[in-house]
Structures are given as C-alpha cells and as structure tokens.
C-alpha cells in the first residue's frame, strides 16, 4: 500500500476550517433587506440544531452563534468530512433606527430569519407649522 505524507496537511486543514475556502466558506451567509417597517436578516445554517443557536443583542450589536456537530456514537465511521463543523459566529451592527428590543427570530428549513422593526422615531412623521401662534398647516418630516 502506498501512503502519501504531507507535513503541512494538518495546518492546511485547520486554516480551511477557520478561514474557509472559496467552495466552503467558514462563515454563515447572510441576506439582509428592508420590507416596509421591518428589517430582515436571514442566515444560512443548514444542518444546525435549533437548540445550538444563540442570538444576543448588546448595545446595538447583534451576535448570532450556532454550532454544527458531526454525528457521534458507537459504530459511526466517518467516510468523508467536507462540510464545515464547529461553532460559527456572525456580528451585525444595528443602527439606531431599529428597535432591537422587539426583535423576533425564527428557524425554518435551515435558515435563521430575524425580523427587527424600524423604530418609531425613525419613521416619517407630520410636523405642525404654527404661524402667529396658530396651527395652520402640517408638513411631512
């Protein structure tokens, strides 16, 4: 039997796990968009147990942490290991225009979706203009 030895194989494997590759990025992919009075962030987390997902907000910094584990147990033999495993973390900075206290999260079909309402103070409002002390008309602000 012919065996190939590569002294840098383990270093390359660890670097790929940490930094990822073009085919397998080590970070969770994100789509973010605004629809009406809500901002949405959707994270791709296929194969992640929903109980391993942790979502926190501290001082307008949203942190999402998730863990994907390999199957373990007696009789489990790993034949190929191409999917990134371990703990994934992503941080987003939320602007003051979002109401992080009312953030909602859901996990379906391997996608974590966060729904964050736009803060009332950031929505357009009407301002009353007074002339000679009387309210005469309103304008949009």
pLDDT at 50: 93
Cα 71 → chain centroid: 24
Per-residue pLDDT, 104: 95
Among 54, 88, 55, 48, which residue's Cα sits nearest to residue 69? 48
pLDDT at 113: 97
| Beta-strand pair 61-68/126-131 | unpaired
Give me the pLDDT at residue 66, please: 92
Q: Can you tell me the distance from the alpha carbon of 66 to that of 111, in angstroms, rounded to the nearest whole number?
A: 12
Low-confidence residues of the chain, pLDDT below 70? Answer: 1-10, 12-27, 133-141
User: How high is the pLDDT of residue 88?
Assistant: 85
Q: Cβ distance 66 to 112 under 8 Å?
A: yes
- What pLDDT, on the 0 to 100 scale, is given for residue 131? 83
Q: Does the reported pTM lie above 0.85?
A: no
Looking at residue 140, its pLDDT comes to 62
Residue 34 has a pLDDT of: 92
């Amino acid at each position: 039997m012919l065996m190939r030895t590569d002294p840098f194989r383990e270093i390359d494997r660890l670097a790929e796990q940490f930094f990822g590759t073009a085919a397998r990025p080590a970070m969770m992919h994100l789509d973010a968009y605004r629809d009406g009075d809500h901002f949405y962030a959707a994270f791709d987390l296929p194969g992640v147990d929903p109980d391993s997902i942790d979502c926190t907000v501290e001082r307008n910094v949203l942190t999402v942490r998730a863990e994907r584990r390999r199957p373990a147990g007696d009789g489990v033999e790993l034949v190929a290991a191409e999917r990134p495993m371990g703990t994934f973390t992503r941080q987003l900075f939320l602007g003051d225009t979002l109401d992080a206290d009312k953030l909602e999260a859901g996990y379906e079909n391997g996608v974590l979706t966060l729904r964050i309402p736009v803060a009332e103070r950031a929505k357009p409002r009407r301002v009353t203009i007074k002339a000679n002390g009387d309210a005469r008309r309103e304008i949009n602000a």
